[in-house]
Amino acid sequence: MAGSIQSLERAAAILRLLAGGERRLGLSDVANALGLAKGTAHGILRTLQQEGFVEQDPDSGKYQLGAELLRLGQSYLDVHELRARALVWADDLARASGETVYLGVLHQRGVLIVHHVFRPDDTRQVLEVGSMQPLHSTALGKVLTAFDPVARAELVESEREAFTAHTVTDLDVIDAEAAAIRERGWAAAVEETWAGVASIGALIQDRRRNPVGAVALNGPVERVCTTGPDGRIGPVRPDLVVSVREAARAISRDLGAPRF
């Protein structure tokens, strides 16, 4: 663990100070309250002002919190909000495809399942909301890794287990595939985590086009993949790819993302 950075600590202290009590403070108020030299306090305040975190009243010269802080707070998307917005589209994807549908978000070096729609065959199925899936070997994880730099960083740190003979664990190969996923806009994972299971995933974006999660369908390779004339399992079915991408776009649209 590296030592903390003093100027950041001081900037945080200033923001806290402005967030409580009087809310509008002059330069000497800030400096006195935090035991800083005026010059130091001024330097930090000016930087915070440039970033929009602090605003200065033109008449009194006093400082207050800036609008950028509010914007930061709002950009956080509650996963339960995500589920509520995605409900209709995830249901529709499961019904149209006949397969299981998951919604996942990045969480501690893995994918947290925040929503799960049963396959519509009325067999006994267990709700998997709250469980984790790996980043490197599922469609959900691959989508997040490809589009979210934070997920990529988590992947580098994580232990990439080889679940099956098809699991890719080599970082260079993963990165090359991620580039291809970014290019075409969707990911597939065929028997990379579970033998006999294939998944197709696409990205969900918020109104600022930030990657906030992914939607994927999972099913047996016999149904999710094409079959060649020799009976061999081929790549995933293009019609299912279209359905998954449409669902991802619809959810993103409901979150306020611009039309693609």
Residues that bind other proteins (CB under 8 A): 78-81, 83-84, 87-88, 91-92, 94-95, 116-118, 120-122, 125-127, 129
Amino acid 181 reads I
Nearest Cα neighbor of 139 from 91, 204, 92, 85 is 204
State phi, psi for 37 to the nearest 5 degrees. -70, 145
For residues 46 and 95, which CB has a smaller minimum distance to other proteins in the complex?
Answer: 95
Strand order through the sheet with 197-205: 132-134, 110-117, 100-107, 211-220, 197-205, 186-190
Cα–Cα dist 44/6, whole Å: 11
Dist. CA 99–CA 116, nearest whole Å: 11
In terms of CB distance, is 12 or 127 closer to other proteins?
Answer: 127
Please say which residue, 83 or 152, places its beta carbon nearer to other proteins. Answer: 83
Q: How far is the CB of 251 from other proteins (least distance, A)?
A: 13
Cα–Cα distance for residue pair 128/105, rounded to 1 Å: 14
Q: How far is the CB of 67 from other proteins (least distance, A)?
A: 17
Rounded Cα distance between 24 and 205, Å, is 36
- Closest approach, Cβ 78 to other proteins, in A, equals 5
Least distance from C-beta 1 to other proteins, angstroms? Answer: 26
Q: In the complex with other proteins, which residue's Cβ is closer, 124 or 232?
A: 124
195, 186, 193: which is closest to 237 by C-alpha?
186
Q: Which is nearer to other proteins, 29 or 128 (CB)?
A: 128
Phi (first) and psi of residue 91, to 5 degrees = -60, -45
The CB density around residue 59, as the number of other CB atoms within 10 Å, is 6
Shortest distance in whole angstroms from residue 129 CB to other proteins:
5
* Nearer to other proteins among residue 8 and residue 84 (C-beta): 84
| Cβ at position 249, least distance to other proteins in Å | 17
